[in-house]
Amino acid sequence: MSYKEMSKEALQKELEQLKAEYSEICEKDVQLDMSRGKPGADQLDLSMGLFDVFQSTSDLKSENGLDCRNYGLLDGLPEAKRMMAEIMDVKPENVIIYGNSSLNIMYDTVARSYAEGVMGSTPWCKLDQVKWLCPVPGYDRHFAVTEHFGIEMINVPLLEDGPDMDMVEKLVSEDASIKGIWCIPKYSNPTGTVYSEEVVNRMAALKPAAEDFRIYWDNAYVVHHLYEDNQAQIPNILEECEKAGNPDMVYEFASTSKVTFPGVGVAAMATSEANVKSIKAQMTVQTIGHDKINQLRHYRYFKNFDGVKAHMMKHAALLRPKFQAVLDKLESDLRDADIATWTNPVGGYFISLNVMDGCAKKVVQMCKDAGMVLTGAGATFPYGKDPKDSNIRIAPSFPTPKELEQASEILVVCVKIATIEKMLEA
């Protein structure tokens, strides 16, 4: 029965019962962490073969004859470029291989623009104001990067098919201080949103007032499908930008962090050859080169893109029941009460839960008090401020399925309590 249709007395009775349940939960020694999109140990086990790729007798030469054990090759092995190009559906000449983290590439890219500008533009540190568009809810670590450099972040609603493009088009064309937009086009963090073809095309066709405006296209979940037969495909943003006469307007990012091991993989950027040239001029000052042996290790392990795709389906098989456990509980316990909405993603790492306005912080706090850590309420918005205090990010990948049942139970009890208390306040 919908809570909205219940009498005050009925709600109070329900509340008492829920509080008793919550007390019971709190007495158990619960220790659960659903705060971050961390792969589970079972997922990590999938990639242990990486450690058998090389032995002390191995040939560590790249296909171009380079000894990967020594200095050299700023932008990555040819085979690593090809592998990351296939993953991102771009050409190898558009790829720069970096170190172990795509977040680090994004930070570097903003830092470079801040210190030296973008292909000859005024460095952002010399400007009075730099602004950024942030589709919300979004990824907290993106927002932390732009906040770190004093960039003013503007919330843009993330709709069912991507960012509100009417708003994006208007703002970007009118305000030359807007220099970028964070996008996670496939299985967006935290909503699982897949940008539609129309959104991608409109994004590629933007007419920014700022010549140094760039789309930060974080394709973090590019091959991170949950199903074999329901896989999102989105247009190639590099191609679309080129067609639209904006060849240099996009930086695309991806990594193998959630393919093999987080922080132990290969990260890459894909962008126009003009951007590549400009970026390499800075990179050559920053480093002699990244870990080529790890690049070679990954390439030899997967052999080709089919190897990557097959590997991702093994991840999917482990992740599906975890997502399902949470979704089942939300469905069974919250649907009838009609007090929350949530996403049902076909890829990525998160379920996005929207509770009654003004209740998210309270829910997260109650869960924490019961021993279960969620991503901080507000974290999915710039400056950690969810204007409605409504969005909660659920990361079901790390706990075991058994732990997830317990976690979901705690979550729904807390959502119900916070909602009824809010309703009774009114």
Tell which one of 5, 7, 27, 57 touches a copy of itself (CB under 8 A). 57
Alpha carbon 157 to its chain centroid, in Å, reads 16
Pairing of strands 267-271, 250-255: antiparallel
Largest CA distance in the chain: 78
Tell which one of 38, 91, 361, 422 touches a copy of itself (CB under 8 A). 38
Based on the shown chain and the rule CB under 8 A, indicate whether residue 280 belongs to the binding site for a copy of itself: no
The least CB distance from residue 290 to a copy of itself, in Å, is: 6
Please give the C-alpha separations between residue 399 and each of 57, 320, 345, 396, in angstroms, as whole numbers: 38, 13, 18, 7
The least CB distance from residue 61 to a copy of itself, in Å, is: 11
Based on the shown chain and the rule CB under 8 A, indicate whether residue 31 belongs to the binding site for a copy of itself: no
The least CB distance from residue 381 to a copy of itself, in Å, is: 17
Tell which one of 15, 26, 30, 44 touches a copy of itself (CB under 8 A). 44
Tell which one of 25, 32, 68, 413 touches a copy of itself (CB under 8 A). 68
Based on the shown chain and the rule CB under 8 A, indicate whether residue 114 belongs to the binding site for a copy of itself: yes
Q: Closest by alpha carbon to 340, among 242, 424, 413, 251?
A: 413
Stretch binding a copy of itself (CB under 8 A), from 14-22, 70-78, 201-209, 215-223: 70-78
Based on the shown chain and the rule CB under 8 A, indicate whether residue 111 belongs to the binding site for a copy of itself: yes
The smaller minimum CB distance to a copy of itself, of residues 59 and 229, is found at: 59
Based on the shown chain and the rule CB under 8 A, indicate whether residue 15 belongs to the binding site for a copy of itself: no
Taking residue 252's Cβ as centre, other Cβ atoms within 10 Å add up to: 26
The least CB distance from residue 196 to a copy of itself, in Å, is: 30
The smaller minimum CB distance to a copy of itself, of residues 55 and 230, is found at: 55
Stretch binding a copy of itself (CB under 8 A), from 152-160, 208-216, 224-232, 283-291: 283-291
Residues 329-368 touching a copy of itself, rule: CB under 8 A, are none
Stretch binding a copy of itself (CB under 8 A), from 14-22, 97-105, 153-161, 350-358: 97-105
The least CB distance from residue 154 to a copy of itself, in Å, is: 20
Between CA 26 and CA 370 the distance in angstroms is 5
Q: Which residues pair with 159 in a beta bridge?
A: 162
Q: Which residues pair with 156 in a beta bridge?
A: 135
CB 425, CB 385: distance < 8 Å: no
The least CB distance from residue 126 to a copy of itself, in Å, is: 7
Residues that bind a copy of itself (CB under 8 A): 36, 38-39, 41, 44, 47-52, 54-58, 67-72, 99-101, 103-104, 107, 111, 114-116, 123, 125-126, 141, 144-145, 148-149, 257, 261-264, 282, 285-294
